[in-house]
Chain A
Amino acid sequence: MLHEPAAPSGKDPASEYKKRLGVAMFIVYSVIYAGFVLINVISPLTMDLIVFLGLNLAVVYGFGLIILALILALIYNQLCGAKEAQLAEKHNGEER
């Protein structure tokens, strides 16, 4: 009794799809994040370039990483939700 999950969850047929999608999106973000780190160590003065409304690359890239994280998160949730709904519908159809 003490070792049960706080809220048990059933089998998730979409888990494999979500796993693949998550890894793909993680790689996309990691590459962009690595680009930020590498520009800083390889060519730090590049971060001084003014790129948008008087803001330099450091600020735009930094804000961009934060905003991109949210955009990718929303896309991920949309795709996962759609797949879960699709598989649930299929499962219900088979049961009927």
Chain B
Amino acid sequence: MSIIIFLILVAFVLVLSFYLGSKTRSAAGYYAAGGQIHWAVNGIAFAGDYLSAASFLGICGMIAVVGYDGFLYSIGYLAGWIVALFVVAEPMKRLGKYTFTDALDSLFGSKAIKLTAAISTLIVSIFYLIPQMVGAGVLVEPLLNIPHWVGVIMVGAIVITIVATAGMASTTYVQFLKGALLVCFSVVLVVALLNRGLSTTPDQGGKVPFHNLAVLAAINTGGNFLPEDASYTFAEQQSIKGHEFVRLIKDEQNSWWMVEDDLAGPMLKEVQWVTARADGATWINGAPAAEDNQLRQVGNLEAIAGKTGAAATTGALNPFQFLALIGHKDTEVQTWNTTSLTNTLNETVTIYYPQITAGNRIMRPGLKFKVEGTPLDRLDFISLMLALFFGTAALPHILIRYYTVPSPACARKSTIVAIAAIGFFYVLTLFMGLGALVNASVNPITNNMSAPLLARSFGEFLFAVISAIAFATVLGTVSGLIVAASGAVAHDILDKFAKVKFTERSKVAAGKVAAVVVGLIAIILGILFRGMNVSFLVGWAFAVAASANLPAILMLLFWKKTTSQGIAASIAVGIISALGLILLSPDMYTRYGLDPDTALVPFSNPGIISIPLSFITLVVVSLLTQKYSKRRQPEEAAA
């Protein structure tokens, strides 16, 4: 059923694209849908554009693993729309034409602005594309039972077709459709979740019996923990991240266990593990990986407000009760961590082990972002929240949507519709993420699938629909990004900067070729970055956008001494500093296979340094270049 619903959706989107494509002849039609989209449609399309794989898959997945810290992204992403509405929306509409570079350059006619802003658009779009493509692969993998890389290529091919046929027109309607469906079916999922209530033995709606983790009594013998059960033979013990892991053998079969201290003495608790064997085969939990031998989905409550067992089962709950019970100080949540080791057979073993976290700890910040840590940890948190707040209004693929409506007032109204739809959806993410966490709906390998897996616990139909919508989510956002990137290449660089002589038709053709090239780059990066949380990656895109673009936009609008040289310099400094800080961060060191503790930059979010640096650069360079300024009045530019 999943495949049928999925194929129907893809077929519908492609037919729509070809239909709209047959009507798109002009550059205005291709890059800005003719500027005639109704504000309400544009508002929902904004939501469809913005609620990307990062919002649906990434945020829900992160909440399903680290609780409230994932919801911080929802808060920051939504708050960013305030900057867009109050400061950016109408002026950008008045000044711009097809791309945000047009708006930045509208008062100057500067080649330097055209080039730097176009490069910035390309970099931000590509940074934003990576998590979308990663999310697409993760989504299609279980849905169609194909490898991740095939999924990424498939998504890339469909999106390239959408954009290359009709540009912004088809992109707008795909985004509108997907935005509306995403919000509606998320409501259905949350209602079903609340109706189910909470239990300490979630069984996927009766389909998958709850798995109680096995526990063995153990004896501490000179630091080694041996099972009391004589049918097990002790093989080895390793200490990782403050935990002791023990390998036992029973009936010639290996198993890994984690040492836990209990009131009754030391215990060995069951874990899950993946072994990369010397012959190249992958074994899961002591047997070859197969369709019927995968890691079990995890995440459950061990106690609900102090109650355990059948007495803890709640029945239907209202939204406040649901959140209050999970966040109760006597609620115990079983989350899962991961670590890896090399066993005595020289095989790499990845271990997934459970840990109990108090409910009130899950429901406040701190599990991922160390707000109780060192001053540097806290600065990292502030930096993230700063980038999320200022990033939205600087995302090129969002800004170009202001050019699809007829007037500044329509730009404003469509932003308000977007805030309503996006804000409502973000409230739902907390329920969906926590729902996955307590309903054994988290894949230990990748949390990105938590929301669709939660849907699967309510039946194949809801899973199929939610997965198809999630797929459409990726299509909608990637389409918008590729339109923005192709506009940067064809309109900003080739037409405006390099002064290539275009006819209407050839300019559209140039945009289509650029769309294909950007789409191919996105496919490659989507395959390379597999496994990273998609929302985390989007956080970086926000940081680059906020650093490179926002200072230029704000100062252009609010500081009359801003010069073209100041804008170009601030964009360049914003890009270089944000990218440099990201590439030298602990997270990228992990990606390079290096020790993250040795990273040259000790934090992961660059915004707190790169955003002020970009502002300062703009002010200093503008002051130094006042005598060269050829700034026009906004009225002249809009005329």
Binding site for B on A (CB under 8 A): 1-7, 9, 11-12, 15, 18-19, 21-23, 25-26, 29-30, 33, 36-37, 40-41, 44, 47-48, 53-56, 58-59, 62-63, 65-67, 69-70, 72-74, 76-77, 80-81, 84
Contacts and interface: CB of A to CB of B under 8 A. Distances in A.
B87 A22 contact: yes
A74 B416 contact: yes
5 contacts: A5-B403, A26-B86, A26-B87, A37-B381, A41-B382
Interface string B555-593: 001100000000000000000000000000000000000
A33 B81 CA distance: 13
A23 B495 CA distance: 35
B35 A18 contact: no
Contacts of A65: 75, 78-79
Given A41-B378, A65-B78, A58 B363 contact: yes
Given A7-B405, A55-B323, A62-B71, A26 B378 contact: no
Contacts of A30: 82, 389
Interface string B82-108: 110111001101101110000000000
B71 A15 contact: no
A2 B102 CA distance: 12
A62 B74 CA distance: 9
Given A29-B82, A69-B79, A6 B360 contact: no
Q: Chain B: interface residue count, which band?
A: 35 or more
Interface string B388-432: 010000000000000111111100110110011001001100100
Contacts of A48: 360, 364
Interface stretch (B26-34, B342-350, B436-444, B523-531): B26-34
A73 B34 contact: no
Nearest to B328: A54
Contacts of B415: 73
Nearest to B634: A15
Contact of B82 (A26, A36, A77): A26
A36 B381 contact: no
Contact of A40 (B32, B381, B496): B381
B409 A47 contact: no
A5 B97 contact: yes
Nearest to A21: B86
B363 A62 contact: no
Given A2-B27, A2-B502, A7-B405, A66 B364 contact: no
Most buried by A among B72, B97, B364, B507: B364
Contacts of A84: 409
Interface of B: 27-28, 31-36, 68, 71-72, 74-75, 78-79, 81-83, 85-87, 90-91, 93-94, 96-98, 320-321, 323-325, 327-328, 360, 363-366, 371-372, 378, 381-382, 385, 389, 403-409, 412-413, 415-416, 419-420, 423, 426-427, 430, 495-496, 502, 504, 507, 557-558, 635, 638
Contacts of B365: 40, 44, 47, 58
Contacts of B90: 12, 15, 18
Given A5-B35, A44-B365, 11 more contacts: A2-B27, A6-B33, A9-B408, A12-B94, A25-B82, A37-B381, A48-B364, A62-B68, A69-B81, A70-B419, A73-B416
Nearest to B321: A54
Given A36-B75, A56-B364, A63-B427, A44 B372 contact: yes
B548 to A, nearest CB: 21
A58 B63 CA distance: 14
Contacts of B389: 30, 33
A53 B319 CA distance: 10
B635 A11 contact: yes
B83 A26 contact: yes
A54 B403 contact: no
